[in-house]
Amino acid sequence: MTPVREIFAFLFLGAGKIGVTIFFSISTWFLISSEQSIKHNFRRIWLMERELLFWSLTLLIAFTLAKKSLLSPTMMLNSVFPVITSLWWYASAYASFLAILPFLQYALLAMGPKRHTQLALMLLLVFGPLSLVPYPTIFGIYITNVAGFMYLFILLSCYKLYLKQFNVKQLWILMASGLLIGVLITVLKDAVIVLMFADNTPTSW
């Protein structure tokens, strides 16, 4: 793959992950300041389960009518229990996050601003650089499930509760800087690969 294609792949294939992060951050932003209760959050999970059940059964019926050979016991089980079987990973991870959220919020508030800020800084210093490494690391394991949602909640809650909020100009600068760093990492990775295999290129006689 050429460097230009690598850059386009970075921009467009990463859009899904960016969209998930933005969507979760917006929904979580309003949960930070409100008190979370176990009963209320499990009611949210139940409402989400019912909505997902409707759509999963609708899709199951549609697929069955379109091509009956696609029907399998696993598909039927996943359609009846979409959340616990992780039919859609985001919904399952978000349901798990809602179940943990009351305890997570209580723990963060109990530790106070200093410890909360230290925790957020430590996570950012660990997972921030790892997210830039063009190789599978623990970042990919933890950040794509409920642990990733907890990670984002810790950072967002620290920012909203204790730090001075950025203005629009500063946010645009941060976004542009992140995009530039990602492109530079992609180009650097391609350059390293080219240099590594340059000596192995067969020569013509």
Q: What DSSP letter does each residue of 129-178 carry, written as one string? A: HHHH-SS--HHHHHTTSHHHHHHHHHHHHHHHHHSPPP-HHHHHHHHHHH
Number of structural domains (the chain) is 1
Residue ranges for the chain with pLDDT beneath 70: 1-16, 69, 132-144, 182, 186, 189-190, 192-194, 197-205
Query: Does 130 map to a domain?
Result: yes
Query: Does 132 map to a domain?
Result: yes
Query: Does 203 map to a domain?
Result: no
**How confident is the model at residue 75, as a pLDDT?**
84
Q: Is residue 80 within 8 Å of residue 73, measured between CB atoms? A: no
Query: Does 200 map to a domain?
Result: no
Query: Does 202 map to a domain?
Result: no
Model pTM score: 0.76
| CB-based contacts of 4, cutoff 8 Å, min separation 6 | none
Structural domain that includes position 129: 3-194
**How confident is the model at residue 120, as a pLDDT?**
93
Q: Which long-range contacts (CB under 8 A, 24 or more apart) does 136-143 make?
A: none
Task: Tell me the C-alpha distance between 47 and 187, whole Å.
Answer: 45
Query: Does 199 map to a domain?
Result: no
Task: Tell me the C-alpha distance between 151 and 205, whole Å.
Answer: 57
Query: Does 180 map to a domain?
Result: yes
pLDDT tens figures, 82-131: 988 888 888 999 999 999 999 999 999 999 999 999 999 998 888 877 77
Query: Does 176 map to a domain?
Result: yes
